[in-house]
Amino acid sequence: MPVETGEVRRTVNKIRTQVRGVKNFIKRNQPRWQVAPADVTPEAVKESIDYNDILQNVYETRKFTGLMTSLIVNSLKYSVGVMEG
């Protein structure tokens, strides 16, 4: 549409709020891993519990939430990010 005399056009950026909302929704809960034991022996059950603790520790110490932020933003803003996600 042509601009009329004295008309002021403004853009309303809604993508930032949408990206922030999706990012907060995804990062709201911390993921939990559930490693299933190979069999029902007590050694296998203890090993699966140990693996769960190791995975949780890696998630917390490597600060995956910060890495998830850039992944979420890139996947929502750029089409190449969808394949990356």
Tens digits of per-residue pLDDT, 7-62? 777 776 777 787 888 888 888 877 777 888 888 899 999 999 999 999 988 888 88
Residue 1 pLDDT:
58
Write down the pLDDT at residue 9. 75
Residue 48 has a pLDDT of 92
Distance CA 83, CA 71 (A): 11
